[in-house]
Amino acid sequence: MTGQTEGADALTVTIAAGTVRGHMHAGIRRFLGLPYAAPPVGERRFQPPQPAAPWTEVREAADAGPCAPHKIRPFSRLDVAALVGHGGLDGTDYLRLNIWAPLEADKRPVIVWMVLSD
C-alpha cells in the first residue's frame, strides 16, 4: 500500500487496482471487501481466477461485501458474523479480502485466515 492519508477515523491508500478508503478504530486500520479477483461468473466459472477490474474513483472499504453461503457454528459469547459473514447467499462476487492491521505494523508477521467448509 502506498499514499496513506488519515482523517478523523478514515484513511486512504493506493493499491494496484486503485485507491481505497478504509477506517481506523482503536489504532487498528481496517479495509473491508477489497476484490482480489474478478467474480467467477459466466465464462469465468470453473476457470483460473482473473484479476479484479481496476477502479478510478476512491473505493469505500467499510463493508465486508457479499459472502458465499456457509454454515455458521455457534460460539458462546462470541459473535463471529463480523468475521465470517452471516452465512446467507448475497450474490456471486465473493472474492474479497478483509484486512485488519495495527497502525504501527511495518514489517510484522501476516496471518491469512481462510474459512473452509466441512
Spatial distance between the Cα atoms of 39 and 41, rounded to a whole number of angstroms: 6
For cell 505494523, name the residue: 105
Kindly report, residue by residue over 91-108, the tens digit of the pLDDT.
Answer: 677 888 888 888 876 777
Name the burial class of residue 84, with classes exposed (0-12), middle (13-18) and buried (19+) by CB atoms within 10 angstroms of its CB. Answer: middle
pLDDT tens digits, one per residue of 67-79: 776 666 676 776 6
Three-class SS of residue 100? strand
pLDDT over 80 at 50, yes or no = yes
